[in-house]
Amino acid sequence: MAETDMDDLIEIIENEGNIDDIPMSIPMMPVRDVVVFIDMLLPLFVGREKSIKAIEESAKSHRYIFLSVQKDSDLENPGPDDVFLVGTVARVQKMLKLPDGRIKALVQGIAKGKIEKFERKRSWFKVKFDILTEEEIDSKPIEIEALMRNVRESSEKILALRGELSGDVGAILEQITSPGKLADLVASNLRLKVDEAQDVLETFDQKKRLEKVNDFLNRELELSTVQAKIQTHVKDEISKTQRDYFLREQVKAIHRELGDGDDKLAEIENYNEKIKKAKMPPECEKEALIQLKRLDQMHSDSSEAAIIRTYIDAILELPWSKSTKDFLDIKKAAEVLDQNHYGLEKVKDRILEYLSVRKLNPAIKGQILCFSGPPGVGKTSLGKAIARAMKRKFVRVSLGGIRDEAEIRGHRRTYIGAMPGRILQGLKQCGSNNPVFMLDEIDKLGNDFRGDPSSALLEALDSEQNSEFSDHYLNMPFDLSQVLFVLTANMTDTIPSALLDRMEIIRIPGYTHEEKEAIARKYLLPRQIKENGLVRRSIHISDNALDTIISEYTLEAGLRELERKIGTVLRKIARQIAEGKKGKFSVTRQKLIKFLGPPIYLPELDQEESQAGLVTGLAWTEVGGEPLYIEVSLCHGKGELSVTGQIGDVMQESARAAFSYTKANMDRFNIDRDDFENKDIHIHVPAGAIPKDGPSAGIAMATALISAFTGRVVNNNVAMTGEISLRGRVLPIGGLKEKALGALRAGIKTVVIPEKNRKDLYEIPQSVKNNIEFICVQELDQVLDIAFVKQDDEPERDQGDGVASEISEDGDSETGCPDDTDNGIASDNEVHCDDDIGRKNDNDVVAGEKEL
């Protein structure tokens, strides 16, 4: 730009012109999407009829026009209320009519104005307005000078980033000394929104207007910096990609000239051959070929090609048509099961039944079995034995602690590092589509914001649906109908009902003392001798020693602790041999203290003799049954009842029901009425650190209360379990088998059970029934008659009344439970499942709690 032109431009900017010549009533034209500032030179294309008439009227007379911005730019015919009142008085410098009827006008802002009145509204707008002038600043403070310098520097930086900076622009900015004119000039060249520009226009204080423009400049500078950085990065990436492409094409051309094979073509042909050999379903093969075609069309080194290649590999590794042939010799399968596990007849029978049905009907679908029982009873090892008996592959997946649904059904391929779920991964590892698939610890599944894994198992564990199991990563159906799913759980209460409904529950109780001895001799001892590097003929553990280890050093339903104790004894012997000692080592009962220390489990001191107010109950836990003692103490007070021992709400209610029954029948039991008003009753359940809940301690609490009030002594050899009603009826309970085994381990000789649990005696092993006398009762009076120690002045109880001591395997009883019609136990056609009780079993407790 020439020096004279520069001076003219600066003069135009610095001088507004003679605003005194502007008429106070001029045409008004609404404008859209642009705010015209003072001294701003702007071309406008006018097409609306009202606007054309307004600018033509202006051109006929004084060439001044009032420009006001529309509030809504979409309005075609705005009214007086649709425009901002503060606008710009502009002069039409040039005007040109276009062939299409529109007008192109070059306008320049002269002054700010505010509309006072609309004088004409119909064919075109004419307004009366006031000129808005600003006070000149003679001496600018340091703050304004700094602000103006910052605005100039920011403007130059933005223009530099846009590639529009020149020396003329810098000179123009330096020559402007008015803060308001500098703000108007910069704002007119910023890409501001209409509302932001109008806000600047309506700010009359020059300093505030410059501050607003400075804020907009800073924002625009940040945006321009990021935009320039992005453009540079994209340009570099495009250049690198183009360079790599040309280099690879040159390498391919060189290989072709040398006669080398095309690796990509060989890879595609190899994949195509593998897909045909996989013998997958037609729809799955079609999808695999589509993905292979996509891979062929992509560059070999692209990230998307790597994802598709991994997906095709995952498809081809699955055993679509690979299966093992079942071993269907029932007798030999029974021998294999007996070799690996002692007892567990019910489980073995169920497996042999499945093999028998499969032999007669090879098309039968895979079963879903769930082994439920305490830890250490052999649930997991039983799954391996099933696989060996059937000669199938074995897969085990531990579900304990899994909280992510994608662990079961896989991840979507859109995620980085996606992979199939654990079910398909297990099938891929074993290479067979009909293995024995063990899902261990199904009751330990969790759920949180990542999903509910138990719900993801619903499809896999449904024999009617799993023939088209859909994994999120695979996104195509896979047949799981030939898989024999075996699940394990310590308790079924935490398993969702919908999932539990899909399983066949096989309950595995704890082992009896005799079973533990047999298993220790046949399995545990030989295995520990081998693991500790010993020779079997040089080790002898006497029967008394093994019996003592079971009864005084372990107290569990399973066998893990017993095997650890045997291992401890053998390690002591291994150390002696390693130190040079020779000969045959014999372990007797007297030497156990040397190997294992003093006995750990002894009968509780309170039960060494019969006492008043102390009753033995029976509790069910997820690790087996065990005795539970109920204590009642009376002291001077106001008749308040307190229950302690960290017990749950259900057990609290049982205690209140027992107390109400005792209070309602005080006259029958010869209890002084004053005792309820002048004494506080305290019921305590020892082992206060262990949570306890359940209703089946009801009769034990009622017996303890009556014993404490009457002073009658309770026989310490009698244990009882049953729910109490307010009428004294004894209601049924659950977990009788586990409780019976716990009573046997504790050395209890007599167990009182509800009459309606009589059918459950069929499930109790004969060895337990040979050592424990089970007595079935219907009313609490019968319980008291059995539990209280007979005094000299009381007649002896008829020993034939309600005793179920001997029950043969076919269900006949030698000494039956009391019944209205028959003294024998229920016949075979009367032995039903636990649901016939007509109520929920009370072993529904939180894991880790002790239930009564």
Residues flagged as binding site for ATP: 373-380
d(CA 627, CA 745): 9
| Contacts of the segment 786-791: beta carbons below 8 A, 24+ positions apart | 786/715, 786/718, 786/750, 786/752, 787/615, 787/703, 787/707, 787/714, 787/715, 787/718, 787/720, 787/752, 788/707, 788/712, 788/713, 788/714, 788/715, 789/610, 789/712, 789/713, 789/714, 789/715, 791/712
Other beta carbons within 10 angstroms of residue 270's beta carbon come to 10
Beta strands in 383-460, from DSSP E residues, in sequence order: 394-398, 436-440
Pairing of strands 436-440, 484-489: parallel
d(CA 716, CA 787): 8
- Which residues lie below 8 Å from residue 621, measured CB to CB, with a gap of 6+? 374, 738, 849, 850, 851
4 dihedral zone (left: phi>0; alpha: psi -120 to 50; beta): alpha
DSSP 8-state code for residue 807: B
830 dihedral zone (left: phi>0; alpha: psi -120 to 50; beta): alpha
d(CA 310, CA 437): 25
CA distances to 354, 417, 422, 474 from 309, in Å: 41, 13, 20, 13
Q: Annotated catalytic residue: which of 739, 756, 769, 850? A: 739
Phi, psi for 39 (deg, rounded to 5)? 70, 5
542 class by beta-carbon count within 10 Å (0-12 exposed, 13-18 middle, 19+ buried): middle
Q: Annotated catalytic residue: which of 58, 372, 696, 813? A: 696
H/E run at residue 119: strand 103-120
Other beta carbons within 10 angstroms of residue 533's beta carbon come to 10
Contact in structure between 355 and 328 (CB atoms under 8 Å): yes
- Which residues lie below 8 Å from residue 532, measured CB to CB, with a gap of 6+? 567, 570, 571, 573, 574
d(CA 751, CA 786): 10
Contact in structure between 311 and 294 (CB atoms under 8 Å): no
Beta strands in 622-749, from DSSP E residues, in sequence order: 624-636, 641-644, 679-684, 692-693, 713-714, 718-720, 723-724, 730-731
Of the candidates 73, 64, 69, 49, the one whose C-alpha atom is nearest the C-alpha of residue 107 is 64
H/E run at residue 111: strand 103-120
Structure-block tokens of residue 63:
């060439």
CA distances to 313, 535, 567, 578 from 583, in Å: 60, 11, 20, 12
DSSP 8-state code for residue 91: E
d(CA 163, CA 169): 12
d(CA 730, CA 721): 9
Please confirm, yes or no, whether 123 is among the known catalytic residues.
Answer: no
d(CA 684, CA 615): 11
Please confirm, yes or no, whether 444 is among the known catalytic residues.
Answer: no
Q: How far is CA 63 from the centre of its chain?
A: 75
CA dihedral 440, 445, 449, 455 (to 10 degrees): 80
Phi, psi for 686 (deg, rounded to 5)? -60, 175
Q: What is the DSSP string of 358-370?
A: HHH-TTPPPPEEE
Range list of H helices, 202-281: 206-258, 263-278
d(CA 177, CA 101): 43
d(CA 47, CA 129): 25
Q: Supply the residues annotated as catalytic.
A: 696, 739
